[in-house]
């Protein structure tokens, strides 16, 4: 097994699971704690977004287990993380949120870069 994939995608998977569960059960509290403004209040959107974060986490754990078979999940992860960062930055630039929200996206930027680097180093 590829230890690079096992470590990287296990960390990413458990990170997504943790973040998704925090968003699912405590997003307004987290937002208040970090000074995010406005405080997210649309529970339907919070729940949908949280579930997607959790599902991506499960996908990253599948990559950790078998990076060759599950390689397309890496590409989806880059797309998803990049899309979330872009959307978050646009909302910040439009004044829809304060700087606390883009700071939450720092991990997504780092993971997107690490995922792309993994694909570059491990071509099939």
- 0.95 exceeded by pTM: no
* CA 73 – CA 59 distance, rounded (Å): 6
What is the structure's pLDDT at 110?
97
| CA pair distance 84, 53, nearest whole angstrom | 11
Q: Strand, coil or helix: what is 33? A: helix
Phi–psi pair at 20, nearest 5 degrees: -60, -40
**How many alpha carbons lie under 13 Å from residue 75 in its C-beta half-sphere?**
7
> Mind listing the pLDDT tens digit of every residue in the chain (124 residues)?
589 999 999 999 999 999 999 999 999 998 888 888 888 889 999 999 999 999 999 999 999 999 999 999 999 999 999 999 999 999 899 988 888 888 889 999 999 999 999 999 999 8
Domain spans, the chain: 3-121
Q: What is 54-119 written as a DSSP string?
A: HHHHHHHHHHHH-TTTTHHHHHHHHHHHHHHHHHHHHHHHTTSS-THHHHHTHHHHHHHHHHHHHH
Q: How crowded is residue 45: how many other Cβ atoms within 10 Å of its Cβ? A: 11
Cβ-Cβ contacts under 8 Å for 58 (sequence gap 6 or more): 13, 17
pLDDT of residue 1: 58
């Amino acid at each position: 097994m590829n230890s690079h994939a096992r470590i990287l995608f296990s960390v990413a998977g458990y990170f997504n699971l943790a973040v998704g569960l925090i968003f699912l059960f405590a997003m307004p509290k987290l937002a208040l704690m970090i000074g995010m403004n406005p405080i997210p209040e649309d529970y339907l959107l919070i729940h949908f977004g949280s579930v997607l974060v959790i599902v991506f986490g499960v996908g990253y754990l599948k990559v950790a287990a078998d990076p060759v078979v599950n390689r397309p999940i890496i590409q989806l992860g880059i797309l998803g993380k990049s899309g979330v960062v872009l959307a978050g930055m646009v909302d910040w630039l439009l004044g829809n949120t304060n700087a606390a929200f883009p700071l939450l996206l720092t991990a997504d930027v780092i993971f997107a870069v690490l995922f792309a680097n993994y694909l570059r180093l491990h071509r099939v």
